[in-house]
Structure 1
């Protein structure tokens, strides 16, 4: 599951943006329109509903990443960030149920030689039933409609968003704060190894990945490599977190104790493997202190905006 993902070209500042504020409004509007299209009831089939939920939540997270980039210069940051967080949270339980299934599938595929799927299969069936039960009645459509209403309200405010700073002064401080927090979260996770600290590190890394994507056009040959490295680290940490959640559900599984213990042992081993890879990747990605990184990216931004 680990590896660089495709990167929609619209999720970045463009040279045609009149200024940072114009780019902020354009990018946010595009992502919110994508979320609203995905949340449209009656669109597509039940088979792609989970992908549409995933798309809607990803779009909301992209906007939160965008807001964190301009956070110090955005007067409405706290209110709008809270609105996005609450909107995406409505569908979190549905996405989590799907993530458990996906995590089980790639884990059992990776360890197919060690696991007897005839004996782990009942656990897979339980995961499917969990999701099917949650989809019963109108709950899933009600949740999608609730999120759509929240996103629609935010969309109506986007055209009025303004920034207190201009150019790199509107971007550099937020980028520095996010990057510094990612470095700090890595240090905490390395010290404790706790699942919650690993998850917090992942969230910080993901915001930094969003920032690399948003600024990727400043110097693509350099930014693409950094973006892909941040993406890989985010995926490693995401897979590790999904295993934590799968392990929690395994504690309630009605399968034989010996197969549950074997599966849990594999989860523990795989979490260690992913964690080791993540710390190795993070050591390189987050090696530099914030000040020189921000200065370099700011220089690239300036040259790009000047048309160099």
Structure 2
């Protein structure tokens, strides 16, 4: 379970969570050889999620890791990146479908969608046939597990409090930057910090499950909204300058405008506290 237990040994509990995530990530790599394309696509998506979880755990205890954080983070980041192009192709096809008007896809939108479906299908077939990217990712994950096994964490909540404070501060700063000028790059930075904070609250939710329930719901909703915005930005970047890309860009920008209004409104509610106060509120039920 991706959740820490207040009162347990912190080093042992962090190790327990990491082992579970590593085991699942390795299982997802195995599943990429499935003869069922749907299973392969699901495995890619879930593997990338496990990598985000691993990086989030490391960020939470980063104050205790020092330079070891950077090495671990790079290993897991590079493992996830093996499948980013494949995932982007699937996302672009799905995003085109979501933009389709009631009358259906126009010839230009259909052309973009079909091209992305072909790219995604080719990537899936390659993985089924033992693409070298799977082997590279497996080696990187194994190296990351060895690195994590070498962490010498104190049985003290202080580094977690610092890590959580930093996580919230980064989210608050990126929210303010996006509010001032909601560019694709600023929204993407806000997305990353919000996802990270969501993982941290998920890890710490057992400190006071009832009190944190609303925050968990809000962070999930915000993550979905900013995720939609990012998918639209990926589509725009992928088709900008192409002969058939103008309509897709216009529709995507209109959708982004609506999504961003909702996201910024929700962000104001989530990021309205001082970082120290937020961390203190989250950790109030921690027994150490």
Settle same-fold status: TM greater than 0.5: yes
Report the equivalent of 1:194. Answer: 183
1:47-86 matches, within 5 Å, as: 47-75=38-66, 76-86=68-78
Check whether the contact 1:29–1:158 (CA below 8 A) recurs between aligned residues.
Answer: no
Match of 2:80 among 73, 82, 88: 88
* 3-state SS, counterpart of residue 229 of structure 1: helix
Distance 1:263 1:91, change over 3 A: closer
CA distance in 1, matches of 2:122, 2:33: 20
CA distance in 1, matches of 2:41, 2:243: 26
Report the equivalent of 1:144. Answer: 134
Match of 1:121 among 110, 113, 120: 110
1:36-55 matches, within 5 Å, as: 36-40=26-30, 42-43=33-34, 45-55=36-46
1:206-245 matches, within 5 Å, as: 206-245=195-234
CA distance in 2, matches of 1:137, 1:248: 25
* 3-state SS, counterpart of residue 14 of structure 1: coil
Match of 1:35 among 25, 33, 49: 25
CA distance in 2, matches of 1:168, 1:133: 47
Check whether the contact 2:3–2:204 (CA below 8 A) recurs between aligned residues.
Answer: yes
Measured after TM superposition, the shift of residue 232 of structure 1 is: 1.1
CA distance in 2, matches of 1:244, 1:296: 35
The answer as to 2:272 corresponding to 1:287 is: yes
Measured after TM superposition, the shift of residue 39 of structure 1 is: 0.2
Check whether the contact 1:72–1:174 (CA below 8 A) recurs between aligned residues.
Answer: yes
TM-score, normalization by structure 1: 0.85
Check whether the contact 2:40–2:124 (CA below 8 A) recurs between aligned residues.
Answer: no
The answer as to 2:107 corresponding to 1:107 is: no
Measured after TM superposition, the shift of residue 69 of structure 1 is: 0.7
Measured after TM superposition, the shift of residue 152 of structure 1 is: 1.8
Deviation sequence 1:278-307 (CA, Å, 0-9, x none): 1000000010111111112222223xx6xx
CA distance in 1, matches of 2:25, 2:97: 27
The unaligned stretches of length 5 or more in structure 2 are none
Deviation sequence 1:51-99 (CA, Å, 0-9, x none): 1011111101101011111110124212111211122112111111111
TM-score, normalization by structure 2: 0.91
The answer as to 2:281 corresponding to 1:296 is: yes
CA distance in 2, matches of 1:300, 1:186: 27
Match of 1:156 among 138, 146, 153: 146
Aligned pairs, number: 284
Measured after TM superposition, the shift of residue 118 of structure 1 is: 5.1
Measured after TM superposition, the shift of residue 46 of structure 1 is: 2.9
Report the equivalent of 1:263. Answer: 248
Measured after TM superposition, the shift of residue 140 of structure 1 is: 6.8
Report the equivalent of 1:6. Answer: none
The unaligned stretches of length 5 or more in structure 1 are 1-9
Measured after TM superposition, the shift of residue 262 of structure 1 is: 3.8
CA distance in 1, matches of 2:152, 2:90: 37
Measured after TM superposition, the shift of residue 133 of structure 1 is: 3.9
CA distance in 2, matches of 1:155, 1:44: 28
Deviation sequence 1:91-140 (CA, Å, 0-9, x none): 111111111122122222xxx32x53253322211111222344565687
* 3-state SS, counterpart of residue 167 of structure 1: coil
